Chain A
Amino acid sequence: MSTVIQSRKACTVNPLKMSQPIGGALAFMGIADCMPMLHGSQGCTAFGLVLFQRHFNEGIPMQTTAMSEVATVMGGLDNIGSAILNIQQRTKPAIIGICSTGVTETKGDDVDGYLKNFRATHPELDRLALVYVSTPDFKDAFQDGWAKAVESMVKGLAEPSSARREGSVNFLVGSHLTAADIEELREISESFGLEATILPDISGSMDGHIPDDFTPNTLGGTPVEAIRRMGEAELTIALGEQMRPGAEALMAKTGQPYVLFDRITGIEATDQLLDCLSQLSGQPVPGKYRRQRSQVIDAMLDSHFFFGGKKIAIGAEPDLLWNIGSWFSEMGAIITAAVTTTHSPLLEQMPCEEVLIGDLEDLEARSAGCDLLITHSHGRQAAARLNIAFLRMGLPIFDQLGAAHRLSLGYRGARDLTFEIGNLLMAQEEENRPDSWPLPTEDHDAHAPFAFG
């Protein structure tokens, strides 16, 4: 249990947090043939685009309504309309996902109204899906933007269904899952003979693959049609507390039950997921996972020596913080510093004394003397100054390759993470030296050291 406190500084120094609209945009990037768009100044999009490009090493589909000063004051009705028409003409996507920004929210643009108006005047574009989500920059954080975009997609696209398709399951996944995690999730559910709809699915679009041909829209992801048919599934499984509103919305719309797993890493977390899939499908847990489970146990046996009592500092969004922090705690490490970006019911349950909603300056101040610092790439300066081991986790990771393929879900994810971090901690172990065990100085200062001769 921990106390959640909010930083009281006026000036944020070295932000941990990123903005809501680009969190929303990334969720839309997990939809097939989609063009995400920010309703704001063109810079809002440009910053997000560069950030994602450097994290994923991929071309990023992301547009802007290019609001000028005048347009902002007058309201964005015209810009929204002409942006949609322009995108439709140039890239012909199946769906445009629109996120508002600080500028247009400050003006108070009624985008839902604009879209209604647009629909009425452009019936020829009825087949083009349009999903809007309100994500002002001056509220909440990246994870919230992702969650709200998923909720909007569910509300706007999923349809109720009287028929349930046997062996069909929905996954709503949080922003803390990588493309590799989603790939693993799909493989696991397929091995139970289940047909999974994963929303959003960035493993189809942002996993770094060679497309057959050029498309300016997303290269893959959840098909819009599959979202519409989510009501046919037997069960919805939400991964991450941030997915609760989305799961609730889906249940409200389709009457479908849902279960929520707030963790994806670790033996128990994976047991629960696999057990749920086993019961749903009526299939036994496949032999390969029983084997992997015993590999995780062995990995923990081999590496727990290096985790025990180690002091860990983590800066991450709530769901990622909860997932990785809980896992570290299970491994015997101590979370001595935890900094996050936004509120979540999980924060109070964190296995540490205190969780701070703050920035990387706060994290750095709390990390001195730690054995390992974990946060996104922007933590590299702090880790270098403190001279402590540094593990990049979260988004953005722009100074290392393969961010999309870091796996932490399932037994394999836990096994590999155990070794990766175990190695980092092992490298920190200090060699014993002749002066490793000095006597306490104050007791002996009074006596001069014995001198020969």
Chain B
Amino acid sequence: MLQNKIQDVFNEPGCSKNQSKSDKERKKGCTKALQPGGAAGGCAFDGAKIALQPITDVAHLVHGPIACEGNSWDNRGSKSSGSQLYRTGFTTDINELDVVYGGEKHLFKSIKEVIDKYDPPAVFVYQTCVPAMIGDDIEAVCKAASQKFAKPIIPVNAPGFVGAKNLGNKLAGEALLDYVIGTEEPEYSTPYDINIIGEYNLSGELWQVKPLLDHLGIRVTCCISGDAKYHDVAQSHRARANMMVCSKSMINIARKMEERYQIPFFEGSFYGISDTTESLREITRLLIQQGAPAELHDRTEALIAQEEARAWQRIAEYTHRLRGKRVLLFTGGVKSWSVVSALQEGGMEVVGTSVKKSTKEDKEKIKEIMGQDAHMIDDLTPREMYKMFQEARADVLLSGGRSQFAALKNKMPWVDINQERHHAYNGYEGMVNLVKQIDLALYNPMWPLLRKPAPWDMREAQT
């Protein structure tokens, strides 16, 4: 069952990276074999949890030993405008007896307790390695519980050891497609309804874009999955258009919704000014194509003109300070081109960008933006990155939390652009904010103080 699902996900025709592979390669799947003693990344369960946890009003119940939930719960910056239930950690915390006798009953009782105490509109049940090994059939338990409690109990079958985070994202998408999307009908729909797929509302980023859409009268019926509510996801199949963000992590949702419900989709981004503009235009174009009044076009253009001008005006305050500053961009590769163009808009020079997870298309786009001699980094060891900053070959590092110390321990500035970050960087507002944060990091007066050796070290160096 799960193996079929995984093969199906690997065969994703909507994925350009996948399409460029031979049949044999495709069968092997997207994930490189992980190297013992040299791997560093989340597992499939982690990926599934990242993708679905932002659904705010459901209970996310992890079936496994304490490690899977106990070591990681409530650790991501996805924000909610309402329910906080998604930040509650639920786990069966299975013990030795469960391992010996099976954990299905324990899981069933846990579902009951969750419903009795918290009464969520649905419970998402996540499979993990140990119960998968001992043969706990979470699909069967969820089915029985759904019937017994008359509530959707959604199995998310992505145990950690089947692959890496990205695979988990896609298996989470499959769970939504199989058990949630299209299971309820909305009270009404409008010609201005869209879904945004693959946006997790980290630091509330969605709310930097939503006012733009609100202003145009465009309704985000569902964001999958940032700040989403269960019923919105269940009813999302009545939207007129889908926007897919965050690279390919949930391409299967967008493509299968097109296949099943004839909802056209495009791939866009809200990182950077030109990308935001492009995405607004594309949303408008698709909605008009689907029957929305054509006047939406002019209103969109008017808003773009106004908001772009306002953003540029605010960025102009920084460009003279940031011009020529060398940025190393290390994002894991997802959509790095859209951030590259954003940084260039701010006057900075991108001295290198990671493309580890980028698609061929992404790489072409980077070349387009950065020129033929674009410095694309496939993989940079921590040691190499440390050396880069030790030798001051870049002025500032933009990266996720894990690589921050390559810059910071060399007394060089770092700006957090990963999922635990505190700042929001979406849309026109976000770009202004990113530029501001880079400026704050670069020009903090403490840097020269930190780099100056202690007086005795200076004296010793002279003698």
Contacts and interface: CB of A to CB of B under 8 A. Distances in A.
A and B part of one assembly = yes
Interface of A: 9-15, 17-19, 21-22, 37, 40-51, 53-54, 58-59, 63-69, 72-73, 78-80, 82-87, 90, 101-103, 106-107, 136-139, 141, 210-211, 214, 216, 378, 381, 398
Contact of B71 (A13, A19, A53, A90): A19
A139 B130 CA distance: 13
B248 interface: no
Interface string B59-74: 0010011111111111
B93 interface: yes
Contacts, number: 216
Given A11-B90, A42-B164, A139-B96, A106 B134 contact: yes
A83 to B, nearest CB: 3
Contact of B42 (A46, A83, A103): A46
A47 B130 contact: no
A9 B66 CA distance: 14
A103 B43 contact: no
B39 A138 contact: no
Contact of B67 (A22, A65, A381): A22
Contacts of B45: 43
B100 to A, nearest CB: 10
B401 interface: yes
A83 B37 contact: yes
Contact of A106 (B46, B74, B99): B99
A1 B91 CA distance: 31
B36 A86 contact: yes
A216 B98 contact: no
A14 B117 CA distance: 13
A445 B109 CA distance: 48
B46 A43 contact: yes
Nearest to A37: B37
Contacts of A58: 405
Given A19-B66, A102-B130, A378-B74, A11 B61 contact: yes
Contacts of A90: 37-38
A18 B161 contact: no
B258 to A, nearest CB: 31
Contact of A21 (B67, B72, B91, B386): B67
A17 B70 contact: yes
A90 B405 CA distance: 19
A401 to B, nearest CB: 13
Nearest to A44: B67
Interface in B119-141: 129-130, 132-134
21 contacts: A11-B114, A12-B92, A13-B114, A15-B66, A17-B93, A18-B67, A43-B46, A44-B43, A49-B40, A66-B35, A67-B161, A69-B159, A72-B161, A79-B36, A83-B36, A85-B37, A103-B133, A106-B99, A137-B65, A137-B130, A210-B411
A40 B35 CA distance: 12
B14 interface: no
B293 interface: no
| Most chain A CB within a 10 A radius of its CB, from B35, B39, B67, B90 | B67
A82 B34 CA distance: 12
Contacts of A63: 37-39
B220 interface: no
Contacts of A37: 37
A42 B409 contact: no
Nearest to A53: B401
B95 A139 contact: yes
Given A19-B70, A87-B38, 9 more contacts: A11-B90, A53-B401, A64-B39, A65-B37, A90-B37, A103-B133, A107-B133, A137-B67, A138-B65
B382 A214 contact: yes
A43 B69 CA distance: 11
Interface stretch (B81-89, B198-206, B275-283, B295-303): B81-89
A302 B69 CA distance: 43
Nearest to B162: A69
Given A58-B405, A101-B67, A102-B67, A13 B89 contact: yes
B43 A15 contact: no
A11 B120 CA distance: 15
Interface string B9-53: 000000000000000000000000111111111111110000000
